[in-house]
């Protein structure tokens, strides 16, 4: 974005249907305001997207770049798995990276990135954080599973974990019948989640396969959620319901998650697609 310009160039991308506006701020332009994020994300009056991703100068030694994330409601986030793959693909297409692997900084972590065949990317998403204080999840003095909370006349049991952003994971027997929006909004509104949370609904199909829908913080239900896929596998591995290599079937596509050991980072592999480039005309 050229300072004071009327034009803001962007790239429209998606990762398994979770869609993004990518802005190149590597030369130091200021990040978009929450109002601008909401305006660009608007699917009728703007471009339309689930999140805005900014590509910025690296924060850590050895990293190629950093990225930040804003949801369509203008709220910031600490992580976006599908977005990380799209930023990696964007940097590759820009010629900003050499070789098939490099390092990328999200707001709170650094990630090893590997280019796979067929426009797919593998991202090391970091070690899952189960300490409730660091999710954050209030009212519990240590990790447990499930957490049980009475709300709105019902009792909700869920797993909780941070991938750099907060997640709750509910195991369901029939994903198509799940009240994703109702239960999702109900959990997000709890005082127990002071920063809200992304709410995943997971149906275990086999020890290496789950179906997942995610009601995302700041957006609502998306076609895919990369950090949500990592969170769901981490919770279900700890519950002993799946093995450590799992295909996650989301409405927008499949992601492949590997969590080799409790103290190891979670690896997420999946697609990143370019849709179009454009110029946002400031009104
Ligand atoms: N809504 C999320 C950010 C985007 C996460 C998702 N799109 C992903 O692929 O991880 C949050 O507020 O934490």
- For residues 148 and 179, membership in a common domain is answered with yes
Q: Tell whether residue 129 is among the known ligand binding residues.
A: no
pLDDT at 32 > cutoff 50: yes
DSSP result, the chain: --TT-SEEEEEEEEETTEEEEEEE-TT-PPPPPHHHHHHHH-TTTS---SEEEEEE--SSTT-SEEEEEEETTS-EES--HHHHHHHHHHHHHTT---SSEEEEE-SS-EEEEEE-GGGEEEEE----B--GGGTT--S-SS--SSEEEEETTEEEEEEEEESSSEEEEEE-S-GGG--HHHHHHHHHTSTT-TT--EEEEEEEEETTEEEEEEEETTTEEES--HHHHHHHHHHHHHTTSS-SEEEEEETTEEEEEE--STTSPPEEEEE-EEEEEEEEE--
217 carries a ligand binding annotation = yes
Mutate to test the pocket of ligand 1, among 53, 77, 135 (most ligand atoms within 8 A of CB): 77
Whether residue 191 sits in one domain with residue 172: yes
pLDDT (tens digit, 9 = 90+) per residue, 36-92? 999 999 999 999 999 999 999 999 999 999 999 999 999 999 999 999 999 999 999
Residue 68 alpha carbon to ligand 1 centre in Å = 11
Residue 22 lies in a domain: yes
Kindly list the catalytic residues.
80, 225
Between the CA of 92 and the centroid of ligand 1 the distance, in Å, is 22
Q: Are residues 19 and 52 in the same domain?
A: yes
Per-residue model confidence as pLDDT tens digits over 182-240: 999 999 999 999 999 999 999 999 999 999 999 999 999 999 999 999 999 999 999 99
Query: Is residue 32 domain-shared with residue 144, that is, in the same domain?
Result: no
Enumerate residues lining ligand 1, CB below 6 A. Answer: 18, 50-51, 69, 71, 77, 79-83, 165, 198, 216-219, 222, 225-228
How far does the centroid of ligand 1 lie from the alpha carbon of residue 72, in Å?
10
Is residue 146, in this structure, part of any structural domain at all? yes
How many structural domains compose the chain?
2
């Amino acid at each position: 974005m050229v300072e004071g310009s009327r034009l803001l160039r962007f790239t429209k991308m998606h990762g398994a249907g979770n869609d993004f506006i990518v802005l190149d701020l590597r030369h130091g332009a200021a990040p978009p305001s929450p109002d601008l994020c909401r305006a660009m994300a608007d699917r009728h009056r703007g471009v339309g997207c689930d999140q805005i991703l900014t590509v910025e100068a690296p924060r850590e030694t050895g990293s190629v770049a950093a990225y930040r994330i804003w949801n369509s409601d203008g709220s910031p986030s600490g992580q976006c798995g599908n977005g990380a793959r799209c930023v990696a693909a964007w940097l590759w297409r820009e010629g900003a990276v050499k070789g098939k692997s490099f390092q990328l900084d999200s707001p709170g972590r650094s990630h090893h990135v590997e280019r796979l065949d067929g426009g797919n990317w593998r991202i090391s998403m970091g070690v899952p954080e189960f300490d409730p204080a660091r999710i954050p999840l209030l009212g519990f003095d240590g990790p447990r599973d499930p957490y049980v909370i009475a709300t709105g006349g019902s009792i909700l049991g869920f797993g909780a974990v941070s991938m750099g952003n907060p997640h709750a994971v509910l195991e369901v027997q029939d994903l198509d019948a799940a009240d994703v929006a109702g239960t999702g909004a109900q959990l997000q509104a709890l005082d127990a989640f002071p920063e809200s949370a992304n709410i995943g609904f997971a149906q275990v199909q086999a020890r290496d396969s789950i179906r997942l829908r995610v009601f995302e913080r700041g957006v609502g239900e998306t076609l895919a959620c990369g950090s949500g896929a990592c969170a769901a596998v981490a919770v279900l591995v700890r519950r002993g319901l799946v093995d450590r290599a799992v295909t996650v079937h989301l409405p927008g596509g499949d992601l492949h998650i590997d969590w080799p050991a409790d103290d190891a980072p979670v690896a997420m592999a999946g697609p990143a697609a370019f849709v179009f480039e454009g110029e946002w005309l400031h009104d």
